[in-house]
């Protein structure tokens, strides 16, 4: 009787040791489970770098990476604070793995975008320099005025901005600035082509020829002086008894060779006019001046036609006070639409011209007149 309990106790102890021997490897295996080796310092660095680079232009993606980083850090904190038998290192490893994959993809994508932007910048920069050189050369051609000068300044400014942005590594913005520079330069070329096309248009040349011949005939028949202004060549021709007596260099409105449409467009009008007033001394701010009868009936018809076509606002005025005046000799177009001569040339002209003298202004005077 006494031996049985002892035998049962020994049997129970044996069962315990057997069970312990069987469970021990599992427990040890569970305790020894570790995620693959991860360089957390490098992973965090890549994640922060990707987040910082994405924050400016892709904030949503930057937010997703930031959430993945926070989740990985949370899983790490949970595992390290939990008892060894409850810790799940695989959850932490999966969180870091998700972050590593997303960060790597984002950085690779950014590097590709950067390389593409750099290549786009180089192409646009080269094109912008070429276009700027062509546009600058056109500024010496007839017809280039204030608007073209402003466009040229903008083209230069955008190109300088592009090169500064490229030095800072922002190739996407640099490429856009270089593209805008090309746009301003191309606008100058386009403007020049339009103006040259108008000034060489056969129909326009025929009209201007008719005006010039009519003016010269009037001078010859009435034995009186007459004036013809050639906007393209910046020349004024003084006729007497139908013969050319003098040639003066002139400067026009600062809006180049465009035909005048409205008040404030700074363009010199084209048409058949007459001198209606002679000014000098305190009567004018420009030494001496000959006031023309702009706008005349033809100008008003053109103005109304442009308004009906929507080329100008219904509230726009036609303008006036177009003169031939002194103060010129600046070798650039600068007036509000008038024709300017040097004071010395103005003295000669003023001595010959009277009220009623015909003044014809053409876009381009056909050769042979």
Domains of the chain as residue ranges with CATH: 1-30 (no CATH), 203-362 (2.40.440.10)
pLDDT of residue 344: 96
Is-above-0.75 flag for pTM? no
pLDDT of residue 53: 83
pLDDT of residue 339: 97
Q: Where are the beta strands (DSSP E) in the chain?
A: 225-230, 235-240, 243-249, 271-280, 288-292, 323-325, 339-340, 358-362
pLDDT of residue 192: 87
pLDDT of residue 32: 43
SS3 content of the chain, % helix, strand, coil (to 5): 60, 15, 30
pLDDT of residue 300: 94
Nearest to 353 by CA among 283, 273, 294: 273
Report CA torsion sign: 13, 16, 21, 25. negative
Residues of the chain with pLDDT under 70: 1-38, 87, 142-143, 256
pLDDT of residue 354: 95
Q: What is the pLDDT of residues 85-100, one digit of tens each?
A: 776 788 888 888 898 8
Whole-angstrom Cα distance, residue 267 to residue 145? 10
Interhelix angle 40-55/89-138, rounded to 10 degrees, is 40
pLDDT of residue 350: 97
Whole-angstrom Cα distance, residue 229 to residue 247? 10
State both tokens at 251. 């400067």
Per DSSP, what are the bridge partners of residue 360?
228, 272
pLDDT of residue 294: 96
pLDDT of residue 40: 84
């Amino acid at each position: 009787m006494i031996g049985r309990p002892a035998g049962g106790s020994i049997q129970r102890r044996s069962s315990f040791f057997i069970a312990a021997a069987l469970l021990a490897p599992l427990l040890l295996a569970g305790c020894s489970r570790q995620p693959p080796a991860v360089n957390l310092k490098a992973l965090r660095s890549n994640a922060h770098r990707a987040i910082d680079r994405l924050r400016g232009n892709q904030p949503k993606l930057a937010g997703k990476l930031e959430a993945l980083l926070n989740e990985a850090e949370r899983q790490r904190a949970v595992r390290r604070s939990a008892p060894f038998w409850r810790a799940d290192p695989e959850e932490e490893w999966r969180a870091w793995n998700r972050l590593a994959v997303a960060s790597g993809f984002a950085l690779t994508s950014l590097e590709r975008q950067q390389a593409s932007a750099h290549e786009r910048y180089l192409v646009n920069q080269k094109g912008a320099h070429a276009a700027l050189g062509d546009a600058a050369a056109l500024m010496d051609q007839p017809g280039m005025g204030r608007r073209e000068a402003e466009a040229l300044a903008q083209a230069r400014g955008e190109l300088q901005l592009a090169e500064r942005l490229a030095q800072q590594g922002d190739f996407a913005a640099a490429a856009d600035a270089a593209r805008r520079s090309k746009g301003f330069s191309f606008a100058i070329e386009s403007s020049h082509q339009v103006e040259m096309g108008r000034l060489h248009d056969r129909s326009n040349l025929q009209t201007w020829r008719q005006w010039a011949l009519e003016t010269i005939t009037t001078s010859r028949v009435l034995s009186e002086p007459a004036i013809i202004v050639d906007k393209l060549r910046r020349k004024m021709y003084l006729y007497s008894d139908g013969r050319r007596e003098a040639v003066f260099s002139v400067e026009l409105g600062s809006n180049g060779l465009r035909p005048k449409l409205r008040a404030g467009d700074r363009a010199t009008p084209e048409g058949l006019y007459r001198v209606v007033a002679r000014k000098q001394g305190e009567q004018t701010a420009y030494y001496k001046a000959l006031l023309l009868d702009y706008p005349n009936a033809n100008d008003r018809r053109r103005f109304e036609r442009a308004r009906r076509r929507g080329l100008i606002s219904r509230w726009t005025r036609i303008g006036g006070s177009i003169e031939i005046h002194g103060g010129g000799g600046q070798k650039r177009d600068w007036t509000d639409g008038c024709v300017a001569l040097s004071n010395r040339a103005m003295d000669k002209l003023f001595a010959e011209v009277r009220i009623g003298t015909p003044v014809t202004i053409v876009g381009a005077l056909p050769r042979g007149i």
